[in-house]
Amino acid sequence: MSRDVTVLVHGPVTPFTRRTLTDALRHARQDRRVVRVVLATWDDADTDPLGALLDEVEVLRAPDVANPGFANLNRQVRLVRLGLDAVPEDHVVVKLRTDQTVDHAALLRRLDERAARLEADVVFTTDCFTRTDRRYHPSDMLLVARRPALALYYDLPEVPTTHLDDVLAVREDLRRGAVADVRDLHLWPEARLFMAYLRRRGEAVSDTDEDSARCLARYCELLSASDVGLRWEKFYGGRLPLVPYRFSMAPFEGGPVEEARCVPTSGSPVRQAVKDRLGALLWGPRLARLRA
């Protein structure tokens, strides 16, 4: 891969953000392809704790949204689009949240290995949070693509309904028996982004498991989160790379139970079974703490 790379970090400034930016800048000094690090954040974000890092980072600010939408979709769209507006058309963009980091060297090696897919405007994401039990649900945490593809991915108007509007509507559908399978719900930011993107690419989304799998295979390239060292502040403080997970959850009160599963990336069934077991061991106590 010979294209210049911009690392776009978006979201509120958290204690983890210093690590996010430090890791990106360190790699930028080692690999000349990484030419810019951009931080897209809010007008009221306190960036003083970032200190001298700000001398090497381009900081962009926007007013917060009045309506974050379901699971903060509108916030994500606003800041990512703000950052993309500052990226040259011919760049590859590594999109990260401010509470995440990645092994940039390992990530670029994977991109080099799959350069043809990148040039075909396929969007790279990770197995962790790319779901098999939800349709059209690639992870939206780490996304990598050429700038035109990612701009199309985020060419989504801010949704007018609030998080509460959507939750209440789902509860009413559940009460009336209109929702029997959580796979029929597409409230999740990941699904809303991807399904809108597919329609812009000319796909007639049929809302079936088969079509979801086909579209994921055609338009997304899955990377193992552990292979690229993706870490998240909320997962053991970022001390461990993210791993796929398996657990049961009921996202809506009185609603059906989801059997949460991630799309496998291991070619070996044995290796995948080990990853699934490891994910269950690590995510179980993590989820218990998050729900407490």
DSSP 131: B
Mean pLDDT (the chain) is 92
Q: Residue 83 pLDDT more than 60? A: yes
Distance CA 51, CA 213 (A): 45
Please state the rounded mean pLDDT for residues 109-130: 96
Please state the rounded mean pLDDT for residues 177-206: 92
Q: What is the pLDDT of residues 54-77, one digit of tens each?
A: 999 999 999 999 999 999 999 999
Q: Residue 266 pLDDT more than 80? A: no
Query: Can you give the length of the chain in residues?
Result: 292
| Residues near 284 by beta carbon (within 8 Å), at least 6 away in sequence | 247
Q: Class for domain 5-159+191-233, per CATH? A: alpha beta
3-class DSSP state of 20: helix
**Share of residues in the chain with pLDDT > 90 (%):** 77
